[in-house]
Amino acid sequence: MHSEPQVGGALARADAVAKRLVRLEVNGAGYELAIEPRRSLLEVLRADLGLTGTKEVCLLGACGACTVLVAGRPVLACLTLAVACEGKPIVTIEGVADGHALHPLQRAFVEKGAVQCGFCTPGMILAGKALLDRNPHPTAAEAAEAISGNLCRCTGYAQIVEAIVSAPSLAADTPGQPLPGTLDSGPYLMPELGE
């Protein structure tokens, strides 16, 4: 006798993955989400939270376009499980500026011509910000190393490195006040704008 395949059998159960309640802190805001444990941080940021500044490109961890900061460290959101980020502050490109006031690194990218097509820019800025948060006066070699996991097909990297190295001078006008959008209060400081 020939039997028909079962509908809702083992195959259907294998496709249904139980969701897990996860609390994420993204750009200073708290979110409680029911997500499948296998979903990447990239998927959750873009699809569930609508934060599309984190770019979806290779999905292999090869390009750096999806770089975000998790607990102050640059990570590739396409390779990071969202559930692994529970309890850790996450910063995306949307959380770098202070309202309408650009972060000095963002201003440096504009001033130095480091923004070309813009696709790699969010990941480059976050990789550069992580470096500046731990080393406020990097050398060009340190800046190049910090972005070594991020690919750009437009600029040749010189303008990007120059922007990272020059960002502290943009913020040095008035030292002593926290820099808008930073995770710490390092020496590259400026007063909060608009307050």
- Report yes or no on 48 lying in a domain: yes
Q: What gap in Å lies between CA 61 and CA 184, rounded to an integer? A: 27
Distance from C-alpha of 109 to C-alpha of 123, rounded to nearest angstrom: 12
What CATH number does the domain containing 41 carry? 3.10.20.30
Of 41, 63, 93, which one is at a domain's C-terminal end?
A: 93
Helix axes 104-111 and 158-171, enclosed angle (nearest 10):
130
Give the residue numbers spanning the domain of 22. Answer: 17-93
Q: Are residues 83 and 22 in the same domain?
A: yes
Q: Are 158 and 110 found together in one domain?
A: yes
On whether residue 45 sits in a domain, the answer given is yes
**pTM, entire model:** 0.80
Within 8 A by CB and 6+ apart from 10, the residues are none
Predicted confidence pLDDT, tens digits, the chain (195 residues): 555 455 555 555 555 679 999 999 999 999 999 999 999 999 999 999 999 999 999 999 999 999 999 999 999 999 999 999 999 999 999 999 998 899 999 999 999 999 989 899 999 999 999 999 999 999 999 999 999 999 998 877 999 999 999 999 888 753 434 444 443 333 333 333 333
d(CA 191, CA 195): 8
DSSP state of 46: I
